[in-house]
Structure formats: C-alpha cells, structure tokens
C-alpha cells in the first residue's frame, strides 16, 4: 500500500476532506493507495474534530468515515518519511511553513492552490479540492494500469 500525505495548516478542513474523500474514492477504484492528513500549525480555536463544512460536504457526497471523528494531528518527520507522495493544499500558505519547520522535506512536497476560509467560501474551496483529488486519483489509476 502506498501513501499520499495531505497537508494543510490545521488538519481540520481542507486536508481532512482530501484524506477522507481520497480514501473513499481509492477504495471504490481498488487502488493500492491510502491517504493520511496532517497539519503544519494546528489551531487551538477549532471546534470539534473536523470542520462542519467538510463534514457537510462529505455527507452530501454519501461519504461516511470513522476518520471524521478523530481530532487534528500535527505532522511529524516520520509522516513525511512514510509518505510516497506529499501534497500541501495551498502553496502560498504552506510553502513557508514547510520551509521553516520541515526544510529537509521541501523537495518532496507538491503544492496545490486551494484557498482557506480567509480567501474563499467553503462552497468554492471544497469543490475545488474535490476536483484536485479526482485528478490525482485519475493520475494514480493510469500509472497503475
């Protein structure tokens, strides 16, 4: 089993959606990939284990997962080392955090451009993230064929 590691700031909203949606889709496609997600700078102000926006969109898509009940987890060097692929969901936000805290892994991190709630509404960001995850899944399925 190969692992993709999704990173965001708080591991509460975007990376959690990417992880759970990816795993749901990968299982349906019988891919030998599994996603994990972690945060680069957890926020103490987050309420509960996962964003209500993330949870609502997953439910709307019919995705149910035990992963929705776990609380955010901070990324560690071991997470980077274990991952076959590492994706931070917003380059402008996450590249500085990776460079400052995990510089030895910087060359392995791919960056997307999915906004957080400070720049876009969840109704825009979550579908954007879903499209990015779908593209990644297509790419991995083609590589496996």
Q: pLDDT tens for residues 51-63?
A: 999 999 999 999 9
Confidence of residue 65 (pLDDT cuts 50, 70, 90): confident
What CATH number belongs to 2-144? 3.40.50.2300
Supply φ then ψ for residue 81, to 5 degrees: -65, -35
Burial code (b: 16+ CB inside 10 Å, e: under 16) for 101-114 equals: ebeebeeebebbeb
Full-model pTM: 0.96
d(CA 119, CA 122) in angstroms, rounded, equals 10
pLDDT at 141 over 80: yes
Domain residue extents for the chain:
2-144
Supply φ then ψ for residue 89, to 5 degrees: -80, -15
pLDDT digit string, tens, across residues 121-130: 889 999 999 9
Confidence of residue 30 (pLDDT cuts 50, 70, 90): very high
75-104 mean pLDDT: 98
């Amino acid at each position: 089993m190969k692992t993709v590691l999704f990173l965001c700031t708080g591991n509460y909203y975007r990376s959690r959606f990417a992880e759970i949606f990816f795993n749901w889709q990968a299982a349906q496609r019988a891919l030998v990939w599994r996603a994990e997600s972690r945060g680069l700078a957890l926020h103490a102000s987050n309420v509960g284990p996962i964003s209500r926006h993330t949870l609502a969109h997953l439910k709307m898509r019919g995705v149910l997962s035990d992963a929705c009940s776990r609380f955010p987890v901070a990324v560690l060097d071991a997470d980077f080392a274990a991952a076959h692929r590492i994706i931070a969901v917003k380059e402008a936000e996450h590249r500085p955090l990776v460079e400052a805290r995990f510089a030895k892994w910087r060359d392995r991190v791919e960056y997307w451009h999915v906004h957080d709630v400070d720049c876009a509404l969840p109704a825009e960001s979550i579908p954007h993230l879903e499209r990015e995850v779908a593209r990644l899944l297509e790419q991995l399925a083609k590589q496996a064929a």
